Amino acid sequence: MAFDPASALQVIKARDAYRRRCIVESPQDVRVVIDGRPRVNFCSNDYLGLASHPAVREAFRRGVDRWGVGSGASHLVCGHTAAHHALEEELAEFTGRPRALLFSTGYMANLGVVSALVGRGDTVFEDRLNHASLLDGGLLSGARFQRYRHADARALEAALVESRAETRLVVTDGVFSMDGDLAPLPELARVARDGGAWLMVDDAHGLAVLGAEGRGTPEHFGLDATEVPVLVGTLGKALGTFGAFVAGSEALIDYLIQRARTYVYTTALPPAVAEATRVSLRVVREEPERRARLHCNVRRFRAGAASLGFELGDLPGPIQPLVIGANADALEASRRLGERGFLVSAIRPPTVPAGTARLRITLSAAHSDEQIDGLLEALAEAAPQEA
Ligand code: PMP
């Protein structure tokens, strides 16, 4: 029998799990226009407000003038421009690693890196709540795939003790994308080292946000490059552009250039994106007040949400999810917030575990106090908590 997408869709709809795209009619910013209506955006990953920063836009335009639009080929053929190369050097320096390697997206970086580092006969250990791209990379690799309890270094330790695989790779998000909590990196680094494993951290949501200088979750915890030998960062979130990179030792990067299939077999990013990212990295270094403002906004939101009765865990970053439970309730809360002028998306299974549908609220340095207070007021009406 042939696959029947219409009946598969019926099943998705019956579970209130059908996802719709809204059509955004304005540049990415704190204020967006959707269906002709202005909304205050509380679900973007543009944490520092750099996607529309004038200097970043200007660098992109200048990049197009200098390099054209497409890169024309993969990095190993003739797509690797001086702009890509300079950005790689600057990302290596920023993250405190000998080298960095650009990938077209974070999804591709994670698929390519995990599947290049482990294969048949090896074991990859992953946090249960890792981003889909890390989980998919583990599955694609052909290695034995072992998931450990969320953020639980002792569970990882037990799994490592039992493992007989020669090559072991531990993989975790730095900041969990749908929960906002941090991986216990110091403990994971110790357990990985004692268990003879390498540690890979995907810091998509920590980069440019956490740590005194914005170097991410490892900096937040005071960990160096030997403790986190494989570090992935994405460019489409706090850096406001597009793409991703992995940073690590000379040998690691050289090996990935040879073997990461999602690096070798794909067209390089447009060079203008690299030029824009170089400028946004400069803004991250030169304007620490953006990061300070973001954390101030996070604190304001958390204090307000707590006083409304929402239970928020220890979440130091910009992702502040409010778990609602049933899919239909989360959708309804999101719809009501929309009516009040706020864009907050309802995240449902399979992105999050069943019964934990949530409003994934993200804060930005570009939000004003009034916008945050307005959201809190709207939340009190749209998703009232029991006293
Ligand atoms: N890792 C994490 C933790 C993410 O949240 C995301 C994006 N949502 C990615 C990787 C993928 O990055 P990209 O959007 O660049 O593919």
C-beta of residue 321 within 8 angstroms of C-beta of residue 360:
yes
Q: Which of 132, 191, 196 is nearest to 352 (CA)?
A: 132
Residue among 44, 177, 280, 334 flagged as catalytic: 177
Ligand 1 in contact with 206 (CB < 6 A)? no
Domains along the chain with CATH numbers = 13-42+288-382 (3.90.1150.10), 54-286 (3.40.640.10)
Q: Whose CA is nearest to atom 5 of ligand 1?
A: 177
Using one digit for the tens of pLDDT, what is the confidence trace for 126-176? 999 999 999 999 999 999 999 999 999 999 999 999 999 989 999 999 999
Query: Which tens digit of pLDDT belongs to each residue from 317-368?
Result: 999 999 999 999 999 999 999 999 999 999 999 999 999 999 999 999 999 9
pTM over 0.80: yes
Cβ neighbors of 35 (< 8 A, separation 6 or more) are 22, 23, 25
Instruction: Spell out the alpha helix ranges (H) of the chain.
Output: 5-14, 54-67, 82-95, 106-117, 132-141, 153-162, 185-194, 217-221, 250-259, 261-264, 271-286, 288-307, 327-339, 369-382
Which pLDDT value is given to residue 35?
Answer: 87
Residue from 90, 86, 83 nearest 65 by CA: 83
Is residue 204 a contact partner of residue 246, using CB atoms and an 8 Å limit? no
CA distance 174 to 206: 6
244 pocket-lining for ligand 1 (C-beta < 6 Å)? yes
Å from CA of 106 to ligand 1 middle = 5
Q: Report whether 255 belongs to an annotated binding site.
A: no
Q: Is residue 167 part of an annotated ligand binding site?
A: no
* pLDDT for 196: 96
Catalytic residue from among 71, 237, 280, 334: 237
For residue 298, what pLDDT is reported?
Answer: 98
Residue 243's nearest CA partner among 225, 266, 220 is 266
Answer yes or no: 13 catalytic: no
* Ligand 1 close to Cβ of residue 133 (< 6 A): yes
Q: Among all chains, which residue has been given the structure tokens 């946090």?
A: 127
For residue 232, the 8-state DSSP code is E
d(CA 201, CA 359): 25
State which H helix or E strand residue 37 sits in.
strand 37-41
Ligand 1 centre and the CA of 233: distance in Å?
A: 9
Q: Is the dihedral of CA 330, 336, 338, 342 positive or negative?
A: negative
Mutate to test the pocket of ligand 1, among 113, 128, 175, 177 (most ligand atoms within 8 A of CB): 177
Ligand 1 near 104 CB (within 6 A): no
146 - beta bridge partners?
125
> Residue 159 carries which DSSP code?
H
Mutate to test the pocket of ligand 1, among 126, 133, 242, 319 (most ligand atoms within 8 A of CB): 133
Edge-to-edge strand ranges of the sheet holding 342-343:
31-34, 37-41, 342-343
- What is the Cα–Cα distance from 332 to 9, expressed in whole angstroms? 20
Name the one residue in this structure whose structure tokens are 């929309």: 338
177 is catalytic: yes
- Residue 147 contacts residue 155 (beta carbons within 8 Å): no
User: Do 244 and 112 touch, CB atoms closer than 8 A?
Assistant: no
Judge if ipTM > 0.85.
yes
126 Cβ inside 6 Å of ligand 1: no
Task: Kindly state if the Cβ of 342 falls inside 6 Å of ligand 1.
Answer: no
Which atom number of ligand 1 is nearest to the Cα of residue 235?
Answer: 15
As a whole number of angstroms, the distance between CA 350 and CA 357 comes to 10
pLDDT score, position 387: 55
Q: How far apart are CA 50 and CA 48, in angstroms?
A: 5
The whole-number pLDDT of residue 214 equals 98
Q: Nearest Cα to 109, choosing from 247, 278, 218?
A: 247
Residue nearest to atom 7 of ligand 1 (CA): 106
Q: Which residue in 272, 246, 255 sits closest to 105, CA to CA?
A: 246
> Is 237 in the active site?
yes
Q: Say yes or no: CB of residue 236 within 6 Å of ligand 1.
A: yes
Burial of 65 (0-12, 13-18, 19+ CB in 10 A): exposed
- Helix boundaries (H) for 118-265: 132-141, 153-162, 185-194, 217-221, 250-259, 261-264
Phi and psi, residue 63, nearest 5°: -60, -40
- 33: CB partners within 8 A, 6+ apart: 24, 25, 26, 39
> Going edge to edge, which strands form the sheet with 357-362?
319-325, 357-362, 346-347
Give the atom of ligand 1 at the shortest distance from the alpha carbon of 133.
10
Q: How far apart are CA 366 and CA 304, in angstroms?
A: 18
Q: Which regions in the chain score pLDDT beneath 70? A: 386-387
* 131 Cβ below 6 A of ligand 1: yes
- Tokens at 229, concatenated: 């030998």
Q: Residue 38, preceding bond cis, omega within 30 degrees?
A: no
